[in-house]
Amino acid sequence: MTIDLLATCWRRKIFMIVFTACFFLITLIALLCVKLTYESTTVIRLMRLTDPASGMTQESSLYDKLSFIETHKNMIKSRTVLARLIDALPFLQGWGDPKPGQNPEIAKERLLARLQKSIILRHIKFTDIMDVAVRGPDKREVAIVANTLIRIYHDWLEEENARTYETTVQFLGKRVTLARNKLQEVEENLREYGEAQDVISIDEEIKDKLKAANDLAIAIADINAKIEYYTEVLEKVRASKESISTMVALADNDVITDLAKSYDALELRVRLSRKYLQPDHPKYIELIDRRTNLVDELHKRLMEVFQTKIMELRVLKSKKTDEMNNYKKELYGLKKKYQSIERLRREFKTNEEAYLRLLKNYEASEVLEARKSLVEVVTISPAAEPLKHILPKRTRTMILGMIFGFFMSLCIVLLQERFKKIY
């Protein structure tokens, strides 16, 4: 089949050559009729200056850089900038193909749309460098348009920044004045409250009160322990008279001590009498009665002493508790004063920080207002007159046209051979 195809092409070679040549000539004529398009490129760098007010520096994330570049792309091709460019370069009116009797507004809109398509912005990745390319029918004009566009955009950007910073400075100036007045008011309230309440050493006073309250709490706990102990002793004395001799030392009473000595002496006589006297002897019975009476007296005295001690401890506990309550009331009052002072101090500190922050922003905005720009547009390479056009691509287009013509002729030859076989 391939041999048949080659044979067919060889038989119809004259037709194919003529058809391809005709298509080539048609393509060449079309290219000669098409207007040439030239392109001139300006390389610029968008340098972000350090802004003390916002804390923005040249170090930023990739997303922030992309967003920054896209914003300036949109502003360079904005209607406002392009309208200024048209006013600055009257020859641009011819780029829009004006028609006689056309509405000026419509003509201007068409020209703006044409310019937006003619301006090509290419960003070099991971940098703040941008190529601003302008395409047009005249190679001298495209260079002028590219350079003028950058100059106009730089001037417009400075005007907008200056207007913005002027408004910011005025706003921050008012905020600084209000913050300063508020700071002075809080400072005066703090001073007056401190003088009226005499709380210059309130922190030390609270510490002393807390220490005294802790000492009282320890003393009350000790009193409670003594009350419990003497209560247990009293119960033992009340329960048994035989063990009262062991409780004498705890009583710490002279009368009881004398009674205990008398008891010991009488007990010694009773023990001696057991050796020489019978249990029914009158003297022995008298000694036993005297010992019984002495034990009753000692028991009674011990009961009274321990009850008195418990009462005294309870009275002392009540006094200590009242003193503790008084300390708590005083501490509550001191804490309220301390909280008021702390609130005023916090308010003063907050207002002071706000005032200093606003003052810093105000000063930074004044600096930026003097500089008139936060973004500096630096021209790295100005646009130059192009040496040759970029559209149309004549060589490539003629080669493609010749190839297309050859395949068209081949298709025609094959179709003709097919029809001959059918009919």
pLDDT in tens, 117-136: 999 999 988 888 999 999 98
Structural domain containing residue 410: 1-34+402-418
- Rounded (10°) CA dihedral 6, 7, 12, 16: 10
User: What is the average pLDDT value for the chain, to the nearest integer?
Assistant: 76
Q: Are residues 231 and 334 in the same domain?
A: yes
pLDDT at 248: 65
Confidence band for 100, pLDDT divided at 50, 70 and 90: low
Q: Could you report the per-residue pLDDT of 8-25, keeping only the tens digit for each?
A: 778 888 888 888 888 888
Regarding whether 412 and 272 lie in a shared domain, the answer is: no
In this structure, is residue 25 part of a structural domain? yes
Q: Is there a single domain that holds both residue 346 and residue 256?
A: yes
Q: Do 280 and 340 belong to one domain?
A: yes
- When divided into structural domains, the chain yields a total of 2
Residue pair 48/56 in contact (Cβ under 8 Å)? The answer is yes
* Domain contains 59: no
Rounded CA-CA distance 365/53 in Å is 7
**Which of 173, 163, 174, 155 shows the shortest CA–CA distance to 369?**
163
Question: Do 306 and 408 fall within a single domain?
Answer: no
Token output for 102:
């056309």
With respect to residue 5, please indicate whether it lies within any of the assigned structural domains: yes
Higher-confidence residue of 364 and 398: namely 398
Task: Verify that 260 and 312 share a domain, yes or no.
Answer: yes
Residue 382 lies in a domain: no
309 and 414 inside one domain: no
* 224, 352: one domain: yes
Quote the CA–CA distance of 354 and 1 in Å, as a whole number: 90
The verdict on 230 and 293 lying in the same domain is yes
Within a domain: 160:
no
- According to the model, what pLDDT value does residue 58 have? 45
134 contacts 142 by C-beta, under 8 angstroms:
yes
Residue 246 in domain: yes
Whether residue 392 is contained in a domain is answered as no
